Amino acid sequence: MDREQWLIARRSGVGGSDAAAACGLNPYVSPLDLYFDKTGEVVIEREDTERMQMGRALEDTIADVFAERFDVKLRRHAMRRHPRYPWMIGNPDRLIEGARIGLEIKNVDALAYRFGQWGEPDTDEIPEPYFLQCLHYAMIFDYREWHLAALVGGNTLKRYIVRRDAELEEMLIEGEREFWQCVEQHKAPEIDCSRPGALALIKRVYGTNEGAIVLPESVEHWHRVRMEADELAKHYERSADEAKAHILRTMEGAAIGRLASGDGEYRQKIVRRPGHTVSPSEYVDFRFSKKGAKNE
C-alpha cells in the first residue's frame, strides 16, 4: 500500500508506535493526542523532524548493516492484526528469517542516547515507548523476542533485545483495550493537565465560544495555585534580573567575564536582527481579572 493507504489503515487499531501513548506512558504523546489522531475529531499536526526524515531514509542501510554484522537475512512484512485482540495492529520494520524474531530500526541522536534511557547493548534497557513497541510486535507475531537496531549519532550501530514478559503483556493488553474502547465509543480519554503540552491541547480542543458559566468550587483550588505560581514566577524573574544586573555591572562592558571558581564564564555581544513583518495568526487569549475590574 502507498503512504496514504497506510495512514488510513493505521487508524483502524493501535500500532506499535502507539502502544506507549495508549497506556499513558509516552512523555510526548498523550492518550488524548492519540485519540484525536485515530478519530480525526481534532487535527493534531505532528512535527516531522529532520532526524525522523533521515531515519526513514537510512532504514534500508541500517537493515543491511545489521544483517551483515549479525549474519541474518531480513525481510519485510505487511501490516498484521492480532488474531485475538483485533485492535492490536503492527507494521514492523523487518523480520529475521528462520528465527521467529523481528527487528525495529531507530535513528538515535547521540546526546539523546548518552543522556537518555539507553543501557548496554544486547539488553532491553531502551526508552519505554520503544520497549513497548517491540513487545507489541512480538505479541502480534507470537515471537519469543524482538530486536532493536539503533544507529547512534549516524555512525555507531547497537543491538538491543526485548524478550516476552507475561505480566507486562497483560498490562499492555489492558491499556490498549481501554484506549480502543474510548475510540469505538467516541469518548475522549481524560486530559492529564500535568503533562507538558496539555494547556496548548486544551485550547485547541475547546477554542472559545460565547456565553458565561459559573465554575465549580473545585476550581477555586486551581485558581489559588495559579495565582501563587504567578507571584512566585514574578519573584524569581525579578531575582534573576537583579543577579544579571550585578554581573553585567561588574563586567563593565567586557565581552567575557570568567568566574573565579573556574566553573564557567559569561559572554555578551550585540546581536542585530533585520526587521520583519509578523504574519497573521490566531490564538486563544486567557487571563484572569480581579473581582470588580472593568472588562471592556
pLDDT of 251 strictly over 70: yes
17: its cell numbers: 508506535
Q: Label residues 17-49 b or e (16+ Cβ within 10 Å = b).
A: bbbbbbbbbbeebbbbbbbbbbeeeeebeeeee
First to last CA, the chain: 56
pLDDT of 70 strictly over 70: yes
Is beta strand 74-75 parallel, antiparallel or unpaired with respect to 265-267? Answer: unpaired
- Going by pLDDT thresholds of 50, 70 and 90, the confidence category of residue 164 is very high
Which of 168, 154, 158 is closest to 118 using CA atoms?
Answer: 158
Q: What is the pTM of this model?
A: 0.72
Q: What is the pLDDT of residue 296?
A: 41
Q: Give the CA distances from residue 248 to residues 58, 79, 210, 252, in Å, rounded to whole numbers and listed in that order.
A: 47, 60, 49, 6
Average pLDDT over all residues of the chain: 88
What would the mean pLDDT of 178-198 be, rounded to a whole number? 86
> Is 273 or 143 the better-scoring residue by pLDDT?
143
Residue 134, Cβ neighbours under 10 Å: how many?
27
Q: What is the pLDDT of residue 104?
A: 98
What would the mean pLDDT of 191-205 be, rounded to a whole number? 73
User: Can you tell me the distance from the alpha carbon of 114 to that of 100, in angstroms, rounded to the nearest whole number?
Assistant: 31
229: its cell numbers: 505560581
User: Can you tell me the distance from the alpha carbon of 188 to that of 185, in angstroms, rounded to the nearest whole number?
Assistant: 9
3-199 CATH choice from 3.90.320.10, 3.40.50.720, 3.30.1360.120, 3.40.50.300: 3.90.320.10
What would the mean pLDDT of 247-265 be, rounded to a whole number? 90
pLDDT of 278 strictly over 80: no
pLDDT of 10 strictly over 50: yes
